[in-house]
Structure 1
């Protein structure tokens, strides 16, 4: 039986969603979320390896024990990579699991030295900072990838006319390329925010211990260098008592990025409806109904909106954790780990899924052009033409065209200002201006309007190309 036959829908689809897309859309319905500390195993091993190396080099622990610790940590890493090292919930956390496994492999007499000059406080801080550093780079890469897709599509569709909207109503003429590029700036800023985050928080917290240091003569700069940090946290208390701040800023930046993605997703949903029919979402990013045979639901885009809302909630939760206790470590700070991981799990995949939706969607340029000639969308260009071609002051011209719109509606027109209506409005305003019917028609032509939009940042084809180049250059300036 085909996959279509196993599900309750799919018979009308030419292709089915991939397992990745189905998992994205299904969320937690039938799949469990892995424990947070499973994601930290590689980072805990990295941190312990660097810490043990420093302890050896500083002569704080016996060299033989140090060598055995390093060998044991390498063996645990190999076991983890092979799927043979699993966390025991009875041991509370990743740190205890690693230390107990190390003792099992090399003996307590050697493993007991590993925790010298270290607390679980700064150990988890380090694990999280390493994980978050990779996450920040991943968010930047995913946002950059979506931005690059939008830039490419913006170039491709720079001359595809469509209506621009305000208040969900026809406003004036634009192009699909311009609309798509309108979402790139927010993604570029997401990349920039990740670079800014790294500039503030890519610092090594290990050595803070409980927040108040240690009497052992440790070399914190050595550990930082081994782990690829450009600097250490200057005051040991700071990273301990502000745990959650780095997480809050990271999720806040992610929140803004996925909100841009959700906004675009919502627009694509509307443009794909039967009423608009401007685009078609590919089968691989749609689902069907258990009862309605004809349905093609844009679930992938709807889920992006839902996941963005989840990230907003996580962002609020992290801010609520901050600054409500006596200085030093307090247990509620541990919850920042769960919240930031929830946010990343929900938000990070949105960029790639949306990029794939965009790359596979079908655009009906003729339909968009037809919609761009309805609802008096040419009224504003007509107003501007009366200013530019006949010398009217803008406020006067707008008043005249408003009256002409009302007269056109009364005469049964719902799309363009008629020549007769404009002439009557001019006459009522006692403005003896020479305007031909050809002028009125041309000044409202979507094609002519788009060609006259030439200033920087406008929807005109050449302006869109220039904007695409500028955005590409800006993306290239911020490497994360």
Structure 2
């Protein structure tokens, strides 16, 4: 069944090419298409395009389909082009001519727009919740291990003293920036496009304020052309926020892969969270974090792919836009799985507490030793030259245990302030 069927059908190759994998992807959106159809039916009844009985019948059958979807029993067979055609078919099968009226005053264009934006509102909120859970875990680990020393690196060269507390809380605070972007993307999606129809509105006296309130949107996309132009822009905005989370998570995964290697040996995990080798019995491979790293690298490409797909498209709908679902929906699901695995695995991370006992890390304290001489009255440039000379001739003697007291430093992690900042970032806008 095709909603645009005028009595003739394309050949099989055309059908396969144009439908693509819409049926599979639409299963993620059916819930939201049904929600929008329910609000649309109620609106049609409100303005008199449906009788009270027709409205009640449609709402009842849509509610039954929502129950089927929630139970995982809703399917889109090969005979249907997408979720829209399957839903209309089922309503017509149950209600006859009343079912045929559900498409009044709307188009597949605004149907998919509203379903996608409802999905993104939920998906971005879900991702934000998972980010908050990962943040909480990182902050707990920072509190637990705040005094455990860790070498800090620049250029992958030993640089300055750090700690596990500083490292864990660095990633925690970085996630706050990502929450800002997730919230911004959610607000872009939180604008009702339903009623824009094919992108130019309708001659029916529809009530868009009613559907905006019924669907829980903060506002509507008032201009109907702007609503249609949101297709692609909404997806790119969401993908940019997802990519920001992926960048933070991918960097954390890379650190863990590095720190798990025998050359570093800073952290480890139980055997159940690592994998072995088919020929090397000693191996404990960080496959979880390698896959997180790889998946997150690919996720960071999605905004660029969406940009390439939608750049130079004029206003109005174009079938190219169908392909945005192929890029965005799997990206959302992949990021969710990466966040879940990171949160679970970090709950069992084991940190090594004697790392800095190795004399190769003595040079970590060169800056602290230099700063001590400055505090004693030696000009900085003179102290720097003296320190460089001592390192060169082997007479350097590190000053360990220097106090780092300023906000955000090794000795003053400000974990409570970081927690407050995240709480504020996650608070609903007033």
Aligned twin of 2:210: 222
1:397 and 2:386 equivalent?
no
Q: How does 1:254-273 map to 2 (within 5 A)?
A: 254-273=242-261
Q: Is this contact kept in 2: 1:55–1:61, CA < 8 A?
A: yes
Q: 1:146, 1:354 within 8 Å by CA — same for their partners in 2? A: yes
Question: Equivalents in 1 of 2:143, 2:204: separation in Å?
Answer: 60
Partner of 2:60: 71
**1:52 and 1:66 in contact (8 A); partners too:** yes
Q: 1:254 to 1:291 in 2, by over 3 A?
A: same
Aligned match of 2:419: 472
Matched residue SS, 1:113: helix
* Structure 2: gaps of 5 or more residues: 1-20
| Alignment correspondent of 1:299 | 287
Q: 1:101 and 2:90 equivalent?
A: yes
Contact preservation (8 Å) 2:186, 2:238:
no
Aligned partner of 1:454 among 388, 405, 412: 405
5+ unaligned residues in a row in structure 1: which ranges? 1-31, 409-416, 419-439
Partner of 2:11: none
Q: CA separation in 2, counterparts of 1:82 and 1:140? A: 25
Q: How far did residue 370 of structure 1 move?
A: 2.0
Contact 1:139 1:191 in 2 (8 A): no
1:63 Cα shift?
2.4
Q: Normalising by the residue count of structure 2, what TM-score does the alignment of the two structures yield? A: 0.91
Relative to 1, partners in 2 of residues 1:193 and 1:52: Cα closer, same or farther, differing over 3 Å? same
Query: CA RMSD, aligned part only?
Result: 1.7
Match in the other structure for 2:25:
36
TM-score, with normalisation over the residues of structure 1? 0.82
1:232 and 2:220 equivalent? yes
- Residue 180 of structure 2 aligns with which residue? 192
Matched, 1:181 2:132: no
Shift of 1:284: 2.6
Aligned pair 1:60/2:49, yes or no? yes
Deviations 1:388-441, CA, capped at 9 Å, x for gaps: 12x111111111111111101xxxxxxxx43xxxxxxxxxxxxxxxxxxxxx45
Compute the displacement of 1:294 (Å).
1.7
Matched, 1:384 2:331: no
Equivalents in 2 of 1:272, 1:45: separation in Å? 48
What is residue 72 of structure 2 aligned with on the other side?
83
Structure number with greater Rg is: 1
Residue of 326, 329, 332 corresponding to 2:320: 332
Aligned length: 407
Q: Does 1:282 align with 2:233?
A: no
Any idea what SS the aligned residue of 2:158 has? strand
Question: Partners in 1 of 2:57 and 2:359 — Cα distance?
Answer: 73
The separation in 2 between residues aligned to 1:307 and 1:190, in whole angstroms, is 17
Find the aligned partners of 1:296 and 1:253 in 2 and give their Cα distance. 33
In structure 2, relative to structure 1, the CA distance for the partners of 1:55 and 1:357 (3 Å cut) is: same
> How many Å separate the matches in 2 of 1:290 and 1:34?
39
How far is 1:185 from its partner? 2.1
Deviation of the 1:372 alpha carbon: 7.6
SS of the residue corresponding to residue 88 of structure 1 reads coil
Corresponding position of 2:105: 117
- Counterpart in 1 of 2:6? none
Q: Establish whether residue 407 from structure 1 lines up as the match of residue 354 from structure 2.
A: no
1:250 paired to 2:244? no
- Which SS does the other structure have where 1:296 is aligned? coil
Cα deviation for residue 334 of structure 1 reads 1.2
Alpha carbons of structure 1 residues 358 and 63: separation in structure 2 relative to 1, 3 Å:
same
Contact kept, 8 Å, 1:170 with 1:375, in 2: the verdict is no
